[in-house]
Amino acid sequence: MALTGMLVLSQIITTAVMIFLGALLLMLSAKIFKLKDQSYMTALKVTLILYVIGFVLSLIGMAALSTAIIMAVLNFIVLIVLAMYLIKTFYKLDWGKAALTWLVWFILTLIVGFIIGLIMAAIFAGAIISAVV
């Protein structure tokens, strides 16, 4: 039970941090493509919607460990489609430019997420080890 609680806590903290960082990265992606709307607020709205839905879907996947892999794949596909739709809608783009904007945002988010993931893993690994011992 304690391990599940630590995993959920870790995910909550990571999601909260990544919402703000993800918005910065989406704003950077908008600047790279010289979109009309390059504001942080638009990026924050898109990121907030996407990450909250992603968080809920991942909790569902954690609850059903027997279907975790299937849920992870479905989560990924749903979030890709939703991200491109939100970018297309909020930034008023065609599907091609929305896909390119998403791809750059995705790559930037992977890099930053990996770094944050390493930091969070180190923090929570120490907490889990101390809870077990």
pLDDT in tens, 60-106: 777 766 777 888 888 899 999 999 999 999 999 999 999 999 999 99
* 56 within some domain: yes
Q: What percent of the chain has pLDDT over 90?
A: 51
Residue 125 resides in a domain: yes
At 2, the pLDDT band (50, 70, 90 cuts) reads: low
State the pTM of this model.
Answer: 0.79
Burial (Cβ within 10 Å: 0-12, 13-18, ≥19) of residue 101:
buried
Q: Specify the pLDDT at position 88.
A: 96
Alpha carbon of residue 101 to chain centroid: 15
Query: With 0-12 CB in 10 A as exposed, 13-18 as middle and 19+ as buried, what is 13?
Result: middle
1 part of a folded domain: no
Exposed/middle/buried for residue 18 (C-beta within 10 Å: 0-12, 13-18, 19+): buried
Q: Is residue 14 part of a domain?
A: no
Which helix H or strand E contains 44, and what residues bound it? helix 40-63
> In the structure, what pLDDT confidence band is assigned to residue 1 with cuts at 50, 70 and 90?
very low
> What total of structural domains would you count in the chain?
1
Q: Does some domain include residue 89?
A: yes
Structural domain boundaries, residue 48: 19-28+37-132
